[in-house]
Amino acid sequence: MGRRPKWFRKKHRTSLNIHQKLIPDVAARHPKPVALFTPLKIRDITLRNRVCVSPMCQYSCDDGFATDWHLIHLGSRAVGGAALVMVEASAVEARGRITPGDMGI
């Protein structure tokens, strides 16, 4: 990308300078870990951090059963650092599924 046009620099000069001043080194100001990365205890379970992957309907089950795709998709989130990974909605009966690709019990 080239330089910004002169009219843009002139119009946004103040806001650009303000943003540069408002983004200091966070680590220097906050030596303690951010709450997101602190453990969370829920009854008898202690999660190593507060990163949770919410359930997502992926519509890729075979006859209601999870596939290798689910293992890779959800496993990569767990390996990536999420302390809690929830699977998608699971229907009790086949007729209760939203689509034929939904998970069953």
Domain ranges of the chain: 29-104
Cα–Cα distance list, 54 to 2, 28, 42, 83, 88 (Å): 40, 32, 17, 11, 8
Q: What is the pLDDT of residue 36?
A: 87
Q: Is it the case that residue 7 has pLDDT exceeding 70?
A: no
How high does pLDDT run on average in the chain?
79
The amino acid occupying position 53 is: V
Q: How confident is the model at residue 20 (pLDDT cuts 50, 70, 90)?
A: very low
Q: What is the pTM of this model?
A: 0.59
Distance CA 52, CA 42 (A): 13
